[in-house]
Structure 1
Amino acid sequence: MMLRSFTALFFVVSMSMGTCSAQLIVAHRGASNDAPENTLASFELAFERGADAIEGDFYLTADGEIACIHDKTTKRVAPDQPELVVADSTLDQLRLLDVGRWKDAKYVGQRIPTLAEVLATVPSGKRIFVEIKSGPEIVPTLKTQLASCDLQTDQIVIIAFSEAVVKACRQSMPQYQCNWLTSFKRTDAPASWKPEQKDVIASLTRTEATGLGAHGNEEVIEREFVERVHAAGYEFHVWTINDLDAARRFVRLGVDSITTDRPGVIRKSLTSTGSVDA
């Protein structure tokens, strides 16, 4: 509760000063619109373009390392190369693959980075959202590696779709913020979106999460939803927002961060319209 209270106080102070700096611009897998996702090149470019934070995806490898990659296999980011299942491969095997050339020839030679390497790209005053793609078995290694990095605890936010992972992280590492992630699915009978607001709050409570990371579905996320989550003591983050009008709308709704593939474009647009403090 202390972390949530601090964030709420920071938001109030920022608004009283006439800014909206509590609304962070988070680079989704780095500046992934222009650079190969989840590579050091993508994360470094994101910070160059003014991102407040980066978001990366992490799996536990067969030899107990933590590798930065989104999918269960390497097929999409290393086409025309041997396909590896991340959880069944060692870090050395994964590092043999080139995960940059599929995006652009100038990124030839980019390799799958480790968590430690990604953490090292985060400058002072910036943040990282660490999305866990494995199950709770990753938590002991994650705890050790986060404790050994040079970042301050408030620079690190853990995020996961798995309730079990969120709960394990909160119990093992309460010093870090940890957000539960969800998307929304439309049901036919009766027509509605799931999970409902009450179910979202229940999941946040059950996992002891510090915040919600929601797919930026404009049919679902209205001011009342954001205010209800905030009133319950949780942060409200949205992903992945690449449309400028949608980004401006979510800023007006008061979300705590906007995750985007285009951090430079979104930052410039929001700053030029006065929606985000430069």
Structure 2
Amino acid sequence: MVYFFGFLYLLYFACSAFPGSVEIIAHRGASHVAPENTIAAFIQAWKDNSDAAECDVFLTKDKRIVVIHDISTKHVTGIDLRVSDVNSDVIRTLDAGKLKHPDFTGEKIPFLEEVIETVPPGKRLFIEIKCGQEILPFLKEDIEKNNKKPQLTIIGFDLTTITAAKKMMPEIPAYWLVGRKKDPVTEKLLPYDPNIIQIAKDAGIDAINAHSLGMTPQLVEKANAAGLKIYVYTVDDVNEAKYLMNIGVSGITTNKPALLLSAIRPVNVSADVNSFKN
């Protein structure tokens, strides 16, 4: 009986320590532990019980969508190939794991459809477009070939591309990524332009996904009042995450989902990784 009430106390603390609920999104998968944007990283994100994972996509020469952050393959494979200039079969010969750690030798740069297949029920995948609108017809095709459409969200920095994605796929949430600008003279970070909220509304965007530095309660409140959610990136510090939760952000992208979840949800239980393997 003592243990039962102890569990209830922990559950109460987990639910009431911070106002509302916040999504914890694994940045490029659980990229602190596994090679970024690989199947291993996404499996680890689900094992950590992340609410969502974020991936980056480019279009290859033969019009396949691959999951990679940079315009070149060099950062993750050591071999410098421009993604848009080579066919997917060439990209698939590269090793995207061994530079992270020898234990990950053999990890491939995955196709988007492979990453989508890993998404468990009740979880979400944020798909960040790293190129232009040329990817959209192929992205729509990849999204519609599976039964996980309600679990997918499209994000990106280029407002024109994200707006076009929303018009092409109105049923898919679209979030606008916004970075901080610097003063050209002092190079200090400038406050967020409050007009970004109206710009997002006019574009039909569902949420703003902004850099965490400089996020304020006032901006969150103004966005919420306009019917927009605020998500933030990329937060690996527990205290910063707690502050952002307290001011009302809807989601936090992190390289360390297990760390943040262990701090903000004391009763968080890791899932069985084997249940997410295809």
Q: What TM bracket, shorter-length normalisation?
A: 0.7 to 0.9
Q: Specify which of 88, 95, 99 is matched with residue 96 of structure 2.
A: 99
Deviation at residue 83 of structure 1 after TM alignment: 1.2
Unaligned runs of at least 5 residues, structure 1:
1-16
Query: Cα RMSD between the aligned structures?
Result: 2.1
- 1:211 has 2:207 as partner: yes
CA displacement at 1:271 relative to structure 2: 1.3
Give the Å deviation of 1:189. 6.7
Aligned equivalent of 1:187:
183
Which residue matches 1:47?
Answer: 46
1 CA distance for matches of 2:179 and 2:265? 28
Within-5 A mapping of 1:79-228: 79=78, 82-153=79-150, 155-187=151-183, 193=190, 195-198=192-195, 200-217=196-213, 220-228=214-222
TM-score, normalization by structure 1: 0.86
Change (3 A) 1:91 1:197: same
When residues 195 and 44 of structure 1 are mapped into structure 2, their CA distance, relative to the original with a 3 A threshold, is same
Higher relative contact order (CA 8 A, sep 6+): 2
Q: Report the alpha carbon displacement of residue 149 of structure 1 after superposing the two structures with TM.
A: 1.4
Q: How many residues align?
A: 254
Task: Check whether the contact 1:187–1:194 (CA below 8 A) recurs between aligned residues.
Answer: no
CA change 1:21–1:146 in 2 (3 A) is farther
> Residue 181 of structure 2 aligns to which amino acid in structure 1?
K
- Deviation >4 Å, runs of 4+: 17-21, 188-192
Task: State the TM-score, normalized to the length of structure 2.
Answer: 0.86
Q: Is the 8 A contact 1:59 1:133 kept in 2?
A: yes
Q: Larger C-alpha radius of gyration, 1 or 2?
A: 2
Match of 1:9 in 2: none
For 1:249 and 1:182, locate their aligned partners in 2 and report how far apart those are by CA, in whole Å.
20
**Whole-angstrom distance in 2 between the partners of 1:127 and 1:67:** 18
2:74 counterpart SS class: coil
Matches of 1:119 and 1:139 in 2, distance apart?
Answer: 16
Structure 1 residue 78 corresponds to structure 2 residue 73: no
Q: Say if 1:20 and 1:277, in contact at 8 Å, map to a contact too.
A: no
Structure 2: runs of 5 or more not aligned: 1-14, 271-278
- Distance in 2 separating the partners of 1:238 and 1:50: 19
Question: Deviation of residue 225 (structure 1)?
Answer: 0.7
Q: Secondary structure at the match of 2:109?
A: coil
Describe how 1:25-36 pairs up with structure 2 within 5 A. Answer: 25-36=24-35
